[in-house]
Amino acid sequence: MTQSIAGTTPRHRTISPLLASVGIWLAAGLVMLLLPQVFSSGASLTKLCLMGIMVIFALAYNMLLGQTGMLSFGHAVYYGLGGFFAAHAMMIISGEKLAVPLAAVPLVGALTGLVFGVIFGAASTRRAGTAFAMISLGIVELVAALALVMTGFFGGEQGVSFNRTKALALFGWKFGPQIQVYYLIAGWCFVSMIAMYFITRTPFGRMCLAVRENPERAAFVGYSTQGIRFIAFCLSGAFAGIAGALAAINFEIASNSMLGAQQSGTVLLMAYIGGAGHFAGPIVGAVLITLLQSSLSDITGAWQLYFGIMFILVVMFVPGGLAGLITLHGPIARAGLLPRLAVPYAKALVPGLLLVGGGALIIELTYKLTVERAKTTVLNLGLLQLDAKTALPWIAAVILLAAGAWTLRRLGPGIAEAVAATRAEALARVGA
Amino acid sequence: MLELVVFSTLNGLQYGVLLFLLASGLTLIFSMMGVLNFAHASFYMLGAYLGYQITRTIGYWPGLLIAPLAVGLLGAGVERFCLRLVHRHGHVAELLFTFGLAFVIEEVVVVLWGRVPLDYRVPALLDFPAFTLWDTTYPAYKLFMLVISVAIFVALLLLLTRTRVGLIIQASLTHPNMVAMLGHNVPRIFMMVFGAGAALAGLAGAIAGPALVTQPSMAALLGPILFVVVVFGGLGSLAGAFIASLIIGLVQTFAIAVNVSLNDVFLPLGISLPAPAVLGDLWNATLAQLGPVIPYLLLVLMLVFRPTGLMGTRET
């Protein structure tokens, strides 16, 4: 995690950084405004809503992991509690007929996240590193176990459901149709994104980086590393609470699965695969993984396995995540040297596809033979029908996998060298 | 009452030593490499599933031997080919790698054996009540689990303190550079310890499989408890892990047996919760219901107030 946070603009351009960043935010807002016009079906609207929620959650999480260097295994506590408190707030609003619009309900989530962030953060941010990670794990298990006992508040297995249309309607928006909920989520997402981005630009945001990179030096400069960690933790909890409240509004229910270890793991996956070292990384991760979750689960029953393997591969080979991979090519693109990488990448593509194809084939054949054995053992690939009970598909899969792995292993170092050399040359041209 | 105490103690001890089989490997691996292995409980689950598969094809006893060996080999392979590669990116990456590995192992188990619990039975040889006290019988298999776990504990203790291999392992815990200087292959020692830890976890799984439920969530259920044990006992301390295993084992079994709530305790003293508040459920919940909460409460309190754990020498 050595990449800097976004916003470094190239030196050879004359656009002022402020103008550029305003432009980027305007473009992002416009895209969010127009997305439902392009993808207007009900299914894609549902996905878009989920993406918006997850973008806030992953960015909030990355205030810890990426910006302050704190690995938390239990951030769903603030997300889930935000959802539950928002749900109860909605029940009170509709029950007492309070004049509170639905758009203000996420504030309840933010406040919840903040308060619990203060409570749990006071205990856990005294430590960093592995101890912090362990405490976060302990807290999430503690809260999840308590939620099962306190059925009065958490609603037990059924959760707490409510009717989102019972709040005060402003401008005739009752938030019955999903599209109105989308704009609510998009609005909160946009505001949260900007807020979190500008937090990284404040002196406090810079000190977070210092605490991540070298806590000892940060302490010597005169800052309390524990204090910085604590503030980052509370803020992160507040934004996670907003995401949780929006999730509760979106589904009209807050349930126990929102605050468990699994939800915490998902947001970790999103932030890390997207790239924890870059501000936009978690956005990429949240969008990509939400997409994968819904589309892969339609295609194959073993989608979670692919998911896990992808995560392991990212940890092993691309520790900077997808955003890290993209920023690596930034200077190369600016120096106009991108075409030079076409040949090495094309060379890597073929064995890479073989490897992925062979691996996927083995997983799918196994899946047919075990889980779906009673239904059918024939894997339907459109043009090709493969019976998992025969030997031929298996042999083909193993050959594909082995050939891909072997070639990639042979070519890998050469390709990495070519990329590094091109990057060095590009840096020399652009930077000098 | 006496019956309850005796049986809860026996069950607690048996669960405690089983926990120690897992915790010993986990804490040794942590002392050596500084990695808290998230996938340790997954090795335990693999041990149970492999044990089941071998029991069905060959028999229970070969399974008890082969399953741990296979899991140990897998563990060594993971260390050699993956973890060593990730090590360059630092501890966070290592922790994340084992986290991902646990996720993948669970999904592989689901793909191979399905989500339904397996019918992993106690071998016929041990399927009889060992003794009867006050009309309650104690199964022989549980006694067998207790004996095996204690035997392994003693063997491990002797291996670490009385043999050359044990000396080298102990030395590599504290002075890896010096051990390397003396001509030992430290990375290989790391690999072997990781493999041995995984094998112990596999053995625990193969033993516990028939007694507890063999299902894909068994790793996720036990994993957090395992962390509680090693952190509570003090990371890197075998003796601490042993004591913590017994404490957690006993606390959990006794909690299940006690049907008393805070309300029951305080009401005779004239204290009651004013008005039905949000915390009312907590106030009226029995200790049996609160059982799952206790270990995590202990973990958080320990980390906040005594970060070294019971017997640990260094901070987490």
Q: What's the CA gap between B200 and A225, in Å, rounded? A: 40
Say how many CA atoms lie within 13 Å of B114 toward its Cβ: 11
Segment B34-56, tens digit of pLDDT: 778 888 999 999 999 988 888 88
B313 conformational bin, left if phi > 0, alpha if psi -120 to 50, beta if neither: alpha
Helix (H, G, I), strand (E, B) or coil at B1: coil
Dig out the tokens for A230 from the structure.
């604590």
Residue among B113, B280, B289 whose CB faces A152 most closely: B280
Segment A220-242, tens digit of pLDDT: 888 888 898 999 999 999 999 99
Q: Is residue A87 within 8 angstroms of chain B, CB to CB?
A: no
Tell me the residues of chain A between 268 and 297 that have a Cβ less than 8 Å away from chain B.
268, 272
Q: Cβ–Cβ of A129/B112 closer than 8 Å? A: no
Helix (H, G, I), strand (E, B) or coil at B136: strand
For the segment B70-76, the average pLDDT, to the nearest whole number, is 90
pLDDT, position B113: 82
CA-nearest of A326, A301, A331 to A422 is A331
pLDDT, position A286: 92
Q: What does each C-alpha distance from A245 to A90, A248, A259, A262 come to in angstroms?
A: 10, 5, 12, 18
Q: Is residue A352 within 8 angstroms of chain B, CB to CB?
A: no
| pLDDT for residue A417 is more than 70 | yes
Segment B122-175, tens digit of pLDDT: 777 767 776 777 777 777 788 888 888 888 888 888 888 888 888 888 888 778
Helix (H, G, I), strand (E, B) or coil at B138: strand
Residue A14: exposed, middle, or buried by beta-carbon count in 10 A (0-12, 13-18, 19+)?
Answer: exposed
Q: What's the CA gap between A409 and A351, in Å, rounded? A: 9
pLDDT, position A380: 72
Window from A412-421, B84-93, B302-311 with minimum mean pLDDT? B302-311
| pLDDT for residue A86 is more than 70 | yes
| pLDDT for residue A394 is more than 60 | yes
Name which residue leads in pLDDT, A48 or A365: A48
Percent of chain A with pLDDT over 90: 17
| pLDDT for residue A4 is more than 50 | no
Average predicted confidence (pLDDT) for chain B: 81
Which runs of consecutive H residues, i.e. helices, occur in A258-374?
261-274, 281-299, 303-317, 321-328, 330-334, 342-370
pLDDT, position A236: 94
Whether residue B172 contacts residue B238, with contact meaning beta carbons closer than 8 Å, is answered with no
How close, in Å, is residue B227 to chain A by CA atoms?
8
Chain B residues near residue A363 by CB distance under 8 angstroms = 111
Tell me the residues of chain A between 102 and 131 that have a Cβ less than 8 Å away from chain B.
123-124, 126-127, 129-131
Residue A23: exposed, middle, or buried by beta-carbon count in 10 A (0-12, 13-18, 19+)?
Answer: exposed
Q: Is residue A363 within 8 angstroms of chain B, CB to CB?
A: yes
| pLDDT for residue A6 is more than 50 | no
Q: Is residue A304 within 8 angstroms of chain B, CB to CB?
A: yes
Q: Is residue A142 within 8 angstroms of chain B, CB to CB?
A: yes
Q: Cβ–Cβ of A135/B304 closer than 8 Å? A: yes
Which range of A40-49, A183-192, A297-306 scores highest in mean pLDDT? It is A183-192
pLDDT, position A168: 67
Q: How confident is the model at residue A2 (pLDDT cuts 50, 70, 90)?
A: very low
Per-residue burial over A121-160, b = 16 or more CB atoms within 10 Å of its CB, e = otherwise: bebbbbbbbbbbbbbbbbbbbbbbbbbebbeebbbbeebb
DSSP state of A127: S
Whether residue A250 contacts residue A179, with contact meaning beta carbons closer than 8 Å, is answered with no
Q: How confident is the model at residue A402 (pLDDT cuts 50, 70, 90)?
A: confident
Q: What's the CA gap between A134 and A72, in Å, rounded? A: 8
| pLDDT for residue A7 is more than 60 | no
Domain borders along chain A are 17-304, 331-431
How close, in Å, is residue B139 to chain A by CA atoms?
30
Say how many CA atoms lie within 13 Å of B246 toward its Cβ: 13
pLDDT, position A5: 47
DSSP code per residue over B220-271: HHHHHHHHHHHHHH-TT-HHHHHHHHHHHHHHHHHHHH---BHHHHHGGGT-
DSSP code per residue over A288-319: HHHHHHHHHHHH-TTHHHHHHHHHHHHHHH-T
Q: What's the CA gap between B19 and B226, in Å, rounded? A: 7
Residues sharing a CB contact under 8 Å with residue A235, sequence separation 6 or more, in sequence order: A63, A114, A117, A199
Dig out the tokens for B142 from the structure.
């549980």
CA-nearest of A85, A106, A47 to A291 is A47
pLDDT, position A240: 94
Dig out the tokens for B34 from the structure.
């500084």
Q: What's the CA gap between A93 and A91, in Å, rounded? A: 5
Residue A253 bridge partners (DSSP): A161
Q: Is residue A89 within 8 angstroms of chain B, CB to CB?
A: no
Average predicted confidence (pLDDT) for chain A: 83
Please give the model's pTM, rounded to 2 decimal places.
0.84
Segment A289-337, tens digit of pLDDT: 888 888 887 777 778 888 888 888 888 888 888 888 888 777 777 777 7
pLDDT, position A280: 87
CATH of B2-305, one of 1.10.238, 3.40.50, 2.40.50, 1.10.3470: 1.10.3470
When computed from its CA atoms, the radius of gyration of chain B, rounded to whole angstroms, is: 21
Chain A residues near residue B290 by CB distance under 8 angstroms = 149
Dig out the tokens for B53 from the structure.
């598969």
Q: Is the dihedral of CA B171, B175, B177, B181 positive or negative?
A: negative
Q: Cβ–Cβ of B293/A146 closer than 8 Å? A: yes
Neighbours of A303 (CB within 10 A): 17
Q: Is residue A134 within 8 angstroms of chain B, CB to CB?
A: yes
Residues sharing a CB contact under 8 Å with residue A275, sequence separation 6 or more, in sequence order: A3, A281, A282, A284, A285, A320, A321, A322, A323, A324, A325, A326
Neighbours of B222 (CB within 10 A): 23
| pLDDT for residue A245 is more than 90 | yes
Q: Cβ–Cβ of B300/A367 closer than 8 Å? A: no
pLDDT, position B32: 76
Name which residue leads in pLDDT, A341 or B181: B181
Q: How confident is the model at residue A243 (pLDDT cuts 50, 70, 90)?
A: very high
pLDDT, position B273: 60
Residue among A71, A142, A316 whose CB faces B85 most closely: A316
Q: What does each C-alpha distance from A422 to A2, A276, A300, B107 come to in angstroms?
A: 20, 25, 39, 40
| pLDDT for residue A217 is more than 80 | yes
Segment A51-74, tens digit of pLDDT: 999 999 999 999 998 888 888 988
| pLDDT for residue B276 is more than 60 | no
Helix (H, G, I), strand (E, B) or coil at A385: strand
Residues sharing a CB contact under 8 Å with residue B160, sequence separation 6 or more, in sequence order: B166, B169, B170, B238
Task: Kindly identify which residue of chain B lies nearest to residue A122, measuring between CA atoms.
Answer: B304
Q: How confident is the model at residue B234 (pLDDT cuts 50, 70, 90)?
A: confident
For the segment A96-108, the average pLDDT, to the nearest whole number, is 82
Name which residue leads in pLDDT, B133 or A197: A197
Domain borders along chain B are 2-305
Q: What's the CA gap between A57 and A76, in Å, rounded? A: 9
- Class of the A17-304 domain? mainly alpha
Dig out the tokens for A203 from the structure.
């002196």
Q: What's the CA gap between A250 and A196, in Å, rounded? A: 22
Q: What's the CA gap between B264 and B118, in Å, rounded? A: 40
Segment A251-264, tens digit of pLDDT: 888 888 888 888 89
Percent of chain B with pLDDT over 70: 88
pLDDT, position A231: 92
pLDDT, position B262: 67
Q: What does each C-alpha distance from B108 to A401, B48, B194, B206 come to in angstroms?
A: 18, 14, 21, 18
pLDDT, position B157: 82
Q: What's the CA gap between B306 and B316, in Å, rounded? A: 10
Q: How far is CA B139 from the centre of its chain?
A: 22
pLDDT, position B272: 63
Q: How many helices (H) and strands (E) does chain B have?
A: 15, 2
Chain A residues near residue B93 by CB distance under 8 angstroms = 315, 319
